[in-house]
Amino acid sequence: MIDMKKHKKLLAIVLIGILFLPFKVYGAAETLGDLRSSYNALVKEQKDNANKTAATKAEIERKKKAIAQAQIDLQAAETEEKETEEKIQESNEHIEQLKWEAEKVLLYMQQLQGQNVYVEYVSGATSMTELITRVEAINQISDYITDTVDNLKEEIKNNEQLKIELQEKQKKLQAQIVSYEKIIEQNYNNLETYDKFADDIDTKVAAAKKQLDTYVDLCRSNLGKTDDNVKLDDCTKVPVNSGWMKPLKSGTITSLIGYRWGSYHNALDIGGNPEGTPVYAAAAGIVAGIQAKTSCGGNRVFINTNINGTKYTYFYYHLLSYNVKVGDVVDQNTVVGYVGGGRSTSYKYGGYDTCTTGAHLHFGIAYGWVSSHVGKGYVMEKLPGFGNYEGYKFTSRLDYYTG
């Protein structure tokens, strides 16, 4: 007869074993030489980044100056357009005045002709020269008015064209300003990151140096060797884990891994516990990195581990406090730290962590052994033993998800 209790227990073990199969590893450090290479690569990236940052900032300043000049030119064009509009108005008023004066002159001449005064004025000349002069004087008055009106019309035409040109110039300047602003925005994006939790290069270099120094000390102490070919596993004496345990005794998934609010979220958020709740090591390992009171993520701890021969780093963010230091060996009963992210640490309530508004644990797993933040492509998208949906609950560190 089959013992159903033993059968169920065996089935649970098999299911957990399936869930904890190894995942693909991205650039896992196997030796001291690997750590040194990673550190040196980061140092080079730091130098390159400094040069690119300086160049980008210089470009931003150039574009800011160009925008300032374009705004000055735009203001000048707007002023010139306004002045041109006033000139057009003045010319139109002048034309109207001349038309009115011309009408009066013509009316007066008609009156003179009707009374024969015009004929008398012309015929009253005492000489041919005076006759020509009198006729010419009358014609000049008429021609002056006609020419002046024509000139003013031409002036208006030119001003209207200038106005159109100034409006086009303003459009080009405005488009130029928008273009420069976009370039500045892109350059600022180059200086920053869309991953709000991401570390700057200086933080990465410092963490990598601390990790390297820690492993060098361990290898020297345990093996008496610090050559590049020394295997990290031989130095740490950390046991190989057969699987994971949950970092908390209970909790609820409040946010998944993936893009949210315009940035990449590299871990599960586990809520349902107040600040001060113990956070345990999810697997035996060695503490590889600690970042205290960061502005986004608060207290962070990174732990290198080995699961069935495959290297991973699991990490906790938003800790209220931590009980470990870099180089410490932990097991699955070790209390690494305590849940934070609430009133004691959240910037919303006067704390230092801008990336949290309530108590929770940010728990993620990265491929390979690292010592600082990693983003998309270097973290598990679905953590083993967890339901991949918001609202998933667990009530034991040994709970597992089957559907």
Answer with the residue of higher pLDDT: 277 or 119.
277
pTM for the structure as a whole: 0.62
Q: Which of 158, 206, 213, 212 is nearest to 373 (CA)?
A: 206
pLDDT score at 346: 95
pLDDT score at 388: 87
What is the DSSP track for 80-139?
HHHHHHHHHHHHHHHHHHHHHHHHHHHHHHHHHHHTTHHHHHHHT-SSHHHHHHHHHHHH
Q: What are the pLDDT digits (tens) for 180-217? A: 777 766 666 655 555 677 788 888 899 899 999 999 99
80-84, 224-228, 252-256: which has the minimum mean pLDDT? Answer: 80-84
80-89, 320-329, 333-342: which has the minimum mean pLDDT? Answer: 80-89
What is the DSSP track for 333-348?
T-EEEEEB-STTTBGG
Percent of the chain with pLDDT over 90: 39
94-98, 283-287, 363-367: which has the minimum mean pLDDT? Answer: 94-98
Looking at residues 102-119, what average pLDDT do you find? 57
Is residue 231 within 8 Å of residue 31, measured between CB atoms?
yes
Is residue 78 packed enough to be buried (19+ CB in 10 Å), middle (13-18) or exposed (0-12)?
middle
Fold classification of 237-394 is Glucose Permease (Domain IIA) (2.70.70)
Is residue 241 packed enough to be buried (19+ CB in 10 Å), middle (13-18) or exposed (0-12)?
buried
pLDDT score at 102: 64
Q: What are the pLDDT digits (tens) for 32-62? A: 999 899 899 889 988 887 787 777 778 778 8
pLDDT score at 353: 95
Answer yes or no: is pLDDT of 390 > 60: yes
Q: What are the pLDDT digits (tens) for 65-79? A: 877 787 877 787 788
304 contact partners, CB below 8 Å, separation of at least 6: 236, 238, 285, 286, 287, 288, 311, 312, 313, 369, 370
Is residue 267 within 8 Å of residue 302, measured between CB atoms?
no
Answer with the residue of higher pLDDT: 247 or 121.
247
Is residue 29 within 8 Å of residue 38, measured between CB atoms?
yes
Q: How is the chain split into domains, by residue range?
A: 60-191, 237-394
Average pLDDT, rounded, for the chain: 80
Q: Which of 281, 297, 291 is nearest to 345 (CA)?
A: 297
Q: Between the ranges 144-153, 228-237, 310-319, where is the mean pLDDT highest?
A: 310-319
